[in-house]
Chains A and B, each alone.
Chain A
Amino acid sequence: MSAPGLVLVATVAVLYSSGFYLLLQRSLMRVVFGIIVLGHAANLSLMLTDRAITLPPILTGKEGAISDPLPQAMALTAIVITFGVTTFLLALAYRVWLGDDNDEVPDDVEDRRIGRLSEPEDSS
């Protein structure tokens, strides 16, 4: 694999791991950032499927020396989708902030109910 290809592989690995790390945080803003980073990782890994990634996508005269346009087309579509959804997610996060004055991800409703059940009755 070519050097630019290797750099891309490393970038994708870093993006995925940091994306999932951010996704597991309690602050909603970090979760949103995690989604953004993960989106980039997925789009880049689409680009990675092209083995001739260093070559230009449009013919320059020499035959056969172009990169595969399909991953680029797919990545373009995916970028549009992730971009749109990210905007919506930011709006939602803002809304949560407005409603609660904090952006902490709440505990699972069910968890809390079960937690309450296990508490001794006379503790209150």
Chain B
Amino acid sequence: MNLLLAAPFIVPLLGAAATLLLRRTPRSQQTVSVLAVSAVIAAAAALLVVTADGTVLAGQAGGWSAPLGITLVADPLSALLLTVSAVVLLIVLLYAIGQDVGGLSRAIPQVFHPVYLVLTAGVCLSFLAGDLFNLFVGFEVMLTASYTLITQAPTRERVRAGMIYTVVSLTSSILFLTGIALVYGLTGTVNLADIAQKLGGAPAELRTVLALLFLVVFGIKSALVPMHFWLPDSYPVALTRISAIFAALLTKVAVYAIIRTQTLLFGRDDISTVLLVLAIATMLVGILGALVQDDINRVLSFALVSHIGFMIFGLGVGTVAGIAGAVIYLVHHIVVQATLFLVNGLIRQHVGHTSLSAIRGMNAVSPKLALFFFLPAMSLAGLPPMSGFIAKVALFEAGVAAGDWLALVGVAAGVVTSLLTLLAIFRVWTRAFWGEPMPDMVEARSQLRQGANRRGLRFMTATTGVMVGIGLLVAAVSGPLSEVAFTAARDLVERQPYIEAVLGTGTQ
């Protein structure tokens, strides 16, 4: 069982080493990284099957028993997110390979594969870490990989944006370390389950301060308003495939960390009001930002900030239904956000840029692209029967059931945000996809079709299509999905299954 828990981050790390050695043969490099990420999917799916009924799997590295050794834990929440993330990681990887095969990318592919696999390992370790310090290490592995990815194919602009991104992320990492020091000083342990038990006896004020500190740490990384300022400046500048994977996963890992620490370590009374207020602010500020952007990439980045608010809202409500809604929203959003960024990348391939004021009539240039944009965009806005609708209904129901006035304000803000999202998307749609295409766009398109990179482009379109399909699939399997989400939420609220699974294995 230990092996299954360790595989999701060991395999990609080994793969990273292998791809580094294979840097002179791009084809074998691509094969190795696809195989490694596929192995992660297999391991994650196995973990999901085992944990779907609410079982919490805990493994102790090296046989050192729970509070002393390094603990790896998979509960329904982490297994579910691990599986979805792995699938998205594979598809973006295939997209990137398509881009390289077709010579459509100017990045240096030798570096891309090892770093991408390290990123995969970091994401997986963050989901599986059973103690604070390994969570920190997982985050650092993931972020260090992301620092190098965001500055790939370095233009002047990208280096500047990368600098801002790196400094902001590092600041939050240092605060994270400070938080770990404070928790260790207070409880004498970094094991999450052990802290959960020991922190209960700490003074309430200290608990609140620690909860706020961790909220700031992960809030910076998950781009909660008012700590979101770095995201719309850095994501749109990076290569498309990289901003796609960042938008899909990095902020979500931080949201996962917020959910994990706030539910397990701190009681729900500590800062649930703060969470709700931040969630409402995030929803509204983000989407208002999206409404005034000219670049599609920036519209999507601001929409990303806005929709982080929905997940935090679910956590702020704090009931089983609320957290389950947040979990469904996480899954939906990982898939949809990645899809939209990939479509955006295709638009850029077709016409060279993504500025709304200069594109017109994409619909006529490529009807397929219009469809690929339309479906996930409608899901993002929350139109039935898409996955976004299901996730939002779950959240709003939980908010109304909670009955708290702030939760009701949150529901209202959520409805307004959904309408504004629709407006933002409508704006993109009318400007970029409607109307007569500009002559130079048609020309660029026909050149692209005849060029030597036709195969790569077709491959990229196909992978994006698969991604759109997965978005529809999320809606189709919403029954089982919400079952798993509710099981995960119940485990999170009860806390006992997690604590028992970790501390029960070998403390005696």
Q: Known contacts being A71-B184, A77-B133, A88-B166, is A110 close to B233, with CB within 8 Å?
A: yes
B137 at the interface (CB under 8 A from A): yes
Determine if A92 and B162 form an interchain contact, defined as CB atoms under 8 angstroms apart: yes
A64 to chain B minimum Cβ distance, whole angstroms, is 16
Bound: A108/B298 CA distance, A: 14
Residue of B nearest to A77 (CB): B137
Given known A77-B133, A85-B147, contact A106–B160 (CB-CB < 8 A): yes
Interface flag for B171 (CB, 8 Å): yes
Q: Mark A40-51, 1 if CB is under 8 A from B, else 0.
A: 011101101100
Contact B185 A49 (CB under 8 A): yes
Please name all residues of chain B whose beta carbon is closer than 8 Å to the beta carbon of A41 when the two chains form the complex. Answer: 174, 178
State which residues 158-216 of B face A: CB under 8 Å.
Answer: 159-160, 162-164, 166-167, 170-171, 173-175, 177-178, 180-182, 184-185, 190
Q: Is the CB of A35 within 8 A of B171?
A: yes
Chain A residues within an 8 Å CB radius of B137: 77, 81
> Within the complex, which residue of B151, B174, B175 is in contact with A92, where a contact is CB–CB below 8 Å?
B151
Verify if B24 is at the interface (C-beta below 8 Å from A): no
Contacts known (A38-B174, A77-B133, A100-B156); A45 close to B181, Cβ less than 8 A: yes
User: Which listed residue (B162, B171, B180) contacts A46, Cβ 8 A?
Assistant: B180
- A109 CB–B CB distance under 8 Å: yes
Which of B163, B177, B232 contacts A28, CB < 8 Å?
A: B163
Q: Is the CB of B159 within 8 A of A45?
A: no
Q: Which B residues are in CB contact (< 8 Å) with A13? A: none
- CA A96 – CA B164 in complex, angstroms? 11
Asked whether A99 and B156 contact (CB < 8 A) given A23-B171, A89-B166, A89-B170, the answer is: yes
Q: Is the interface of B mostly helix, strand, loop or mixed?
A: helix
Is B144 at the interface (CB under 8 A from chain A)? yes
What's the Cα separation between A23 and B140 when bound, in Å?
20
Pick the residue among A39, A48, A81, A109 that contacts B185 (CB under 8 A). A48
Give chain A's interface residue range (CB within 8 Å of chain B): 35 or more
A35–B154 touching, CB < 8 Å: no
B154 touches A46 (CB 8 A): no
Contact of B177 among A46, A105, A106 (CB under 8 A): A46
Please name the residue on chain B nearest to A20 by beta carbon.
B171
Other-chain contact of B147, A77, A88, A96 (Cβ < 8 Å): A88
Say yes or no: is B148 at the interface (Cβ < 8 Å to chain A): yes
Q: CA–CA, A113 to B249, complex, Å?
A: 29
Is B190 within 8 A of A74, CB to CB?
yes
- Bound together, the chains give a CA A38 to CA B144 distance in angstroms of 18
On whether A81 and B140 interact (CB within 8 A), knowing A31-B167, A35-B170, the answer reads yes
Q: Is the CB–CB distance between A35 and B190 below 8 Å?
A: no
For A74, give its contact among B133, B174, B178 (CB under 8 Å).
B133
Range of interface residues on B (Cβ < 8 Å): 20 to 34
| A95: Cβ under 8 A from any B Cβ | yes
How close is A122's CB to chain B, nearest CB, in angstroms? 22
Are B159 and A46 touching (Cβ within 8 A)?
A: no
Which residues of chain B from 135 to 160 have a CB within 8 Å of any chain A CB?
A: 136-137, 140, 144, 147-148, 151, 154, 156, 159-160
Using known A-B contacts A38-B174, A92-B166, A93-B163, determine if residue A74 contacts B147 with beta carbons closer than 8 Å.
no
* A71: nearest chain-B partner, CB-CB: B184
List B residues 421-455 near A (Cβ within 8 Å): none
**Closest beta carbon of chain B to A57's beta carbon, Å:** 16
Closest to B157 in A: A99
- The closest CB in chain B to the CB of A28 belongs to B163
Contact A84 B144 (CB under 8 A): yes
Instruction: Answer whether residue A66 sits at the interface, using C-beta atoms and an 8 A cutoff.
Output: no
Is residue A78 within 8 Å, beta carbon to beta carbon, of the partner chain?
yes
Q: Tell me the nearest residue of chain B to A37, going by C-beta.
A: B174
Decide: A88 and B167 in contact? CB cutoff 8 A. no
- On whether the beta carbons of A108 and B166 are closer than 8 Å, the reply is no
Beta-carbon contacts under 8 Å, A80-112 to B: 81-82, 84-85, 88-89, 92-93, 95-96, 99-100, 105-106, 108-110
Which 10 residue pairs of A and B lie closest in terms of their CB atoms, listed nearest first?
A49-B185, A42-B177, A99-B156, A45-B181, A46-B181, A49-B184, A95-B159, A42-B174, A38-B174, A81-B140
* Known A48-B185, A74-B133; further 6 A-B contacts with Cβ < 8 A: A42-B181, A43-B177, A48-B181, A70-B190, A88-B166, A92-B166
A-B residue pairs in contact (CB < 8 Å), sample of 26:
A23-B171, A28-B163, A31-B167, A35-B167, A35-B174, A39-B174, A41-B174, A42-B178, A42-B181, A46-B180, A49-B181, A71-B181, A78-B136, A82-B174, A85-B147, A88-B148, A89-B166, A89-B167, A89-B170, A92-B163, A93-B163, A95-B154, A99-B159, A105-B164, A110-B232, A110-B289
